[in-house]
Amino acid sequence: MCTWVGWVVLVGSLWAQSAAAQVVNEGRLLASGCFQCHGTSGLKGGFGTLAGVGKEDMLNKLNNDMRAKDARSSIMNPHARGYTSYQLSLIADYFSKLPKP
């Protein structure tokens, strides 16, 4: 757990990097493509809830189940194949750090 001093240093360094907006949260930006079906921030979309799903669980499902050739008839197959492994890990990381509903 970070100390308050740590936060001040962290916030200070963020401020020092100027307000020029970089991509603040790449995982979140990539994951926003999931929101239409899975809900904003992975909640209440009607399809599966993604908020709080473990990173390893999600990556395992994306990489091993959904990317598989015999999953070609699944709507998730083209989605899973549309990202690099690195991008998928950013997405899974983002969802895993959201609080579980």
Measured CA to CA, the distance from residue 65 to residue 77 in angstroms comes to 9
| Shortest distance, position 18 Cβ to other proteins, whole Å | 11
Measured CA to CA, the distance from residue 54 to residue 97 in angstroms comes to 8
Residue 92 CB coordination number (10 Å): 24
Q: Which amino acid is at 30?
A: L
The answer to whether 11 contacts other proteins (rule: CB under 8 A) is yes
The answer to whether 54 contacts other proteins (rule: CB under 8 A) is no
The tokens 């690099």 sit on which residue? 84
Pick 32 or 63: Cβ nearer other proteins: 32
Binding region for other proteins (CB under 8 A): 2, 11-12, 14-15, 19, 21, 24-25, 28, 32, 36-37, 40, 44-47, 73-75, 94, 97-99
